[in-house]
Amino acid sequence: MKITRAEVEHVARLARLELSESELDTFTVQMDGILAYVDKLNTLNTDGIVPTSHAVPMENAFREDTLKDSIGVENAVANAPKHAESFFRVPKVIE
Amino acid sequence: MKYQVVIGLEVHTQLTTNTKIFCGCSTRFGSSPNSQTCPVCLGFPGALPVLNQKVVDYAIRAGLATNCSIAPRSIFARKNYFYPDLPKGYQISQFDLPICLNGHLDIEVDGVKKRIGITRIHMEEDAGKLVHADVAGIGDDSCVDLNRACTPLLEVVSEPDMRSPDEAIAYLKKLHEIVRYLGICDGNLEEGSFRCDANVSLMPVGSSVFGTRAELKNINSFRFIKQAIEYEMERQAEILDDGGKVVQETRLFDPNTGTTRSMRGKEEAHDYRYFPDPDLVPVIVDQAWIDQVRESLPELPDAKRARFTADLGLPEYDVEVLTASRELAEYFEETLGLFPQAKTVSNWVMGELTRALNDDGKEVTESPVSPAQLAELLKLVEKGTISGKIAKTVFDEMYKTGKKPEEIVAEKGLVQVSDTSAIEAIIDEVLAREAGQVAEYRSGKDKLFGFFVGQVMKASKGKANPGVVNELLLKKLQG
């Protein structure tokens, strides 16, 4: 097994996904299959190869430190489910 | 049991760029909520973050100034967690390939020097702010302001090398001084431009195995950092003495009570599942870039202090005061360039200038008296045009009006009188008026000499040359 049911449950919770018992079973099997497939890469000899972080061969894409207009408060909050005056409004987080 | 404290510090410095790290929105503090936002920093789907090159410049500056090696290749990673002040659901940070590695700072506590290792410095974006604003009709809900979201930060992570709260403070002050000298951070602790988290653990004295640490957050003054660490040392010692175990957790410092309290429920969130951010391409820094930044570095505080001591022969106290900020040191040096007498310039900068600025609530960069004008004033004293005492009056006038010293001296008729006949006339007048005291002096009461000098200076409205007054007065009294 590449992944356990408990791990799937844990990752789901981190992603704020609520999975039913049967979904947990299904996804554990599916993810195990995916990981086993990807695991084939481990059979390759990768000595001396720099780990790939990006799929595009590009580097140093920068912008200058010059101001651009912001989009304005109205536009900023326009798509928010809730807003209060110029703030986004969210349920209180309990710590 | 006796315990040894072990402290490691993580400092977040907010960079003084004009714009955010991945978009062109302003980084200005205190603007109205959400007025400095755009699709990138709001985390709208499909928006593409592009790195502000100045952030990389500043990171290299910080790295060079703290003796780090600069990574030829570094990448950004996503740190995944959910919190309402983090619009994307992840923070763009650096993880396994940060821009700076393996540096150090040298500190001194009670005359003992010590080297504190710096593990890494990395670039990242700040989160927004969750505010419990007093907005009508929102009940128990919270408000989010994303103006700060995406503001550039450098996180400086130290090795767990500090062994007392004082060492921690010395390290922080040193780092604070350096980032301000470099001009990359305004160092404002209250506004959160320089924030510190402290990892604190205890181990039995003599042991070399670190205990379990607590991470202290939310500390926004040097005094509070000391307080928080001291409280945490007591708390952990009590637990250990009772045979208990310290729990690895994040604790919030409460400045009102001087204590720390557990932030329960954040533990699982520590599984951040970092992975390379595909939106941001690798940052490649070649030697030419590093050299270019190195050339632009200002003289750092330690080097400046050493030079002020060795080359200028200034006392330790003067050196400390003058180098406390880069701006004050530069003012001093600019004046010194025009009037090359270090101790005199130092006295004036630490004395009259600093006093006037403090009274006025102004920074040295806002001083109405320029270094050139101060140097002119000191030249007038040196030439004997005005006395040192009058110079202070002239200085106050310069500060108030911004006029040149010569102008003020001429306008107010403050030129020092060194002409012997003029001074003689004043002395004669004073001695005639104080005949009784003269008799006493002549019968052996030498101490009265100072009284006569004072009277003559007063009669001349401070303009008489004190040297000439002394000389003539002595002659007359003996006469």
Please state the rounded mean pLDDT for residues A30-47.
93
pLDDT tops 80 at residue B413: no
Mean pLDDT computed over every residue of chain B: 92
Please state the rounded mean pLDDT for residues B154-160.
98
- A49: contact with B, CB 8 A cutoff: no
pLDDT tops 80 at residue B218: no
Mutation site for A-interface testing, chosen from B15, B25, B34, B97 by largest number of A Cβ within 10 Å: B34
**pLDDT value, residue B88:** 95
CB-side exposure of B179: number of CA atoms within 13 Å? Answer: 27
Least CA distance to B279: which residue of chain A?
A54
pLDDT above 70 coverage of chain B, percent? 98
Phi, psi of A51 (to 5 degrees): -55, 135
- A43: contact with B, CB 8 A cutoff: no
**pLDDT value, residue B264:** 64
Cβ pair B187, B193 in contact under 8 A: yes
Cβ pair B376, B348 in contact under 8 A: no
Confidence of residue B385 (pLDDT cuts 50, 70, 90): confident
Per this entry, what is the length of chain A?
Answer: 95
Sign of CA dihedral B256, B260, B261, B264: positive
Query: What one-character-per-residue DSSP string does B117-165 give?
Result: EEEEEEEEE---EEE----TT-TT-EEEE-SSTT-EEEEEEE-S-B-SH
CA dist A16 and A30 (Å) reads 19
Q: Identify the CA nearest to B261 among candidates B197, B195, B215.
A: B215
Least CA distance to B81: which residue of chain A?
A14
Cβ pair B184, B297 in contact under 8 A: no
**pLDDT value, residue B479:** 67
pLDDT above 90 coverage of chain B, percent? 69
Confidence of residue B268 (pLDDT cuts 50, 70, 90): low
Please state the rounded mean pLDDT for residues B162-188.
95
Chain A CB contacts of B80 below 8 Å? 14
**How far is the alpha carbon of B332 from chain A, nearest alpha carbon, in Å?**
32
CA dist B299 and B330 (Å) reads 10
pLDDT tops 60 at residue A52: yes
pLDDT above 70 coverage of chain A, percent? 98
**How far is the alpha carbon of B217 from chain A, nearest alpha carbon, in Å?**
14
Confidence of residue B263 (pLDDT cuts 50, 70, 90): confident
More confident residue, B269 or B309: B309
Delineate the domains of chain B, giving CATH numbers in brackets: 3-289 (no CATH), 299-412 (no CATH), 420-478 (1.10.10.410)
Please state the rounded mean pLDDT for residues B38-55.
96
pLDDT digits (tens, 9 = 90+) for A58-83: 999 999 999 999 999 999 999 999 99
CA dist B353 and B376 (Å) reads 14
**How far is the alpha carbon of A14 from chain B, nearest alpha carbon, in Å?**
7
Chain B CB contacts of A82 below 8 Å? 141
Delineate the domains of chain A, giving CATH numbers in brackets: 5-43 (1.10.20.60)
More confident residue, B51 or B478: B51
pLDDT tops 70 at residue B265: no
**pLDDT value, residue B37:** 97
- A86: contact with B, CB 8 A cutoff: yes
- Low-confidence winner among A34-43, B92-101, B154-163, B423-432 (lowest mean pLDDT): B423-432
Between positions 28 and 67 of B, the ones with CB within 8 A of A are: 32-39, 42, 50-54, 56
Please state the rounded mean pLDDT for residues B237-260.
91
